[in-house]
Amino acid sequence: MHFLSIEESNASTLGALIAHAAEMKAHRGENTDLPLAGQTWAIIFTKASTRTRVSFEVGIRELGGNVMFLSKNDIQLGRGEPIKDTARVLGRMVHGAVIRTFAQQDVVDFATYSGIPTINALTDEEHPCQIMADLLTIREKLGTWTGKKIAFIGDGDNNMSRSWMWAAKHLGFEFVVAAPKSCLPPKSFMDRLAAPNVSLTTDPAVAAKDANVINTDVWLSMGQEDQSEKEALFSDFQVNAALLKNCAPGHVILHCLPAYRGKEITECVLEEHADTIFQQAENRLHAQKAILARITQ
Ligand code: CP
Ligand code: NVA
């Protein structure tokens, strides 16, 4: 079994993963169940990472497995060896793989050619593992996502926004994306999504009004760092105190991190909501363990 996208998931899988992640969090350290005992996993990253890499390395070990980190600079993939060849080699040696890269197709191809459980640890298309940690955090802070209004303010056409939209489709909560016009998801994506509970706006105040959760992310995702003309579009899309005035009482702020203070979020808002945001970061570990346990069943 693989975990490649929220798009391909469904409500019952997402619900079961969150429930298991919460249980694993409550019983961390008891180590009665070691589903990865005797296994070695490869973590193959062609982009930088702090949270995802560390949470997977710790999580795999806590589930009884061994782990090796393979940066693209250290393996032949970085010199142009095709992903399907890398997959066929690793599939004969390790028991599972966690991949962070650019193209979603590379993760799909790795899963196909390796024949071993494969996890998408972020592509340009989706960041499914992050969404699991975010949902767990919402459950902890608000009890449930059902009936809540969740907003995403920033690049509406990036991996985080897209994964959130698929989660909204599966789970049914109201989800509003606020982004500059050219950074909203295209009609082709919205047609494929076909979720009446997901709406788009170019006005961040519309998204924030009565929102229970405000989500943001970097304006320029990894690989886009030289697109300063894109960054200039986002000046009205900062999560700041003025924007939050009309949110629902007790609203929660989420940021997948890393954060660029003074850009997508102010220092003040980030620090005021740091307990939640770093709880969200910690939840990567618990969510990752639930994903690993499920796909190796
Ligand atoms: N949120 C997230 O995926 O962080 P890293 O890039 O540090 O893994
Ligand atoms: N959208 C961001 C997420 C980082 C965790 C990126 O892809 O860089």
Q: Is 20 a catalytic residue?
A: no
**Ligand 2: which atom is nearest the Cα of residue 155?**
1
pLDDT tens per residue, range 197-227: 999 999 999 999 999 999 999 999 999 999 9
Length of the chain (residues): 297
For residue 124, count other CB atoms closer than 10 A to its CB.
17
pLDDT of residue 31: 72
Name the residue with the closest Cα to ligand 1, atom 6. Answer: 49
pLDDT tens per residue, range 266-290: 999 999 999 999 999 999 999 999 9
* pLDDT average, residue stretch 75-99: 97
Is the pTM above the cut of 0.85? yes
Residue 255 confidence (pLDDT) above 90: yes
pLDDT of residue 156: 98
DSSP string, 232-257: GGGTT--B-HHHHTTSPTT-EEEE-S
- Our mutation pick for probing the ligand 1 site, out of 43, 44, 45, 52, counting the most ligand atoms within 8 A of Cβ, is 52
What is the SS3 assignment for 116?
coil
The single residue of 129, 183, 247, 256 carrying the catalytic annotation is 256
pLDDT tens per residue, range 153-190: 999 999 999 999 999 999 999 999 999 999 999 999 99
Tell me, in angstroms, the distance from the centre of ligand 2 to residue 159's CA: 7
User: Which positions ≥6 away from 163 have C-beta within 8 Å?
Assistant: 5, 6, 126, 127, 128, 130, 131
Query: Does the beta carbon of 52 sit less than 6 angstroms from any atom of ligand 1?
Result: yes
The percentage of the chain sitting over the pLDDT mark of 70, rounded to a whole number, equals 100
DSSP state of 32: -
- Which part of the chain has CATH 3.40.50.1370? 11-127+284-295, 130-281
Tell me, in angstroms, the distance from the centre of ligand 2 to residue 45's CA: 13
Q: What is the mean pLDDT of the chain?
A: 97
Q: Which ligand lies nearest the alpha carbon of 134?
A: 1
The single residue of 39, 130, 238, 280 carrying the catalytic annotation is 130
pLDDT of residue 77: 94
Q: Which ligand lies nearest the alpha carbon of 257?
A: 1
Angstrom distance (rounded) from CA 62 to CA 65: 7
pLDDT band at 33; cut points 50, 70, 90: confident
User: Which positions ≥6 away from 28 have C-beta within 8 Å?
Assistant: 62, 286
Q: Is 247 a catalytic residue?
A: no
Please state which CATH class domain 11-127+284-295 belongs to.
alpha beta
The single residue of 217, 247, 255, 288 carrying the catalytic annotation is 217
Query: Is 100 within 8 Å of 54 (Cβ atoms)?
Result: no
For residue 198, count other CB atoms closer than 10 A to its CB.
22
pLDDT of residue 32: 77
Angstrom distance (rounded) from CA 296 to CA 279: 26
User: Which one is the CATH code of 130-281: 3.40.50.2300, 3.40.109.10, 3.40.50.720, 3.40.50.1370?
Assistant: 3.40.50.1370
Name the residue with the closest Cα to ligand 2, atom 7. Answer: 221
Tell me, in angstroms, the distance from the centre of ligand 2 to residue 220's CA: 8
Query: Does the beta carbon of 291 sit less than 6 angstroms from any atom of ligand 2?
Result: no
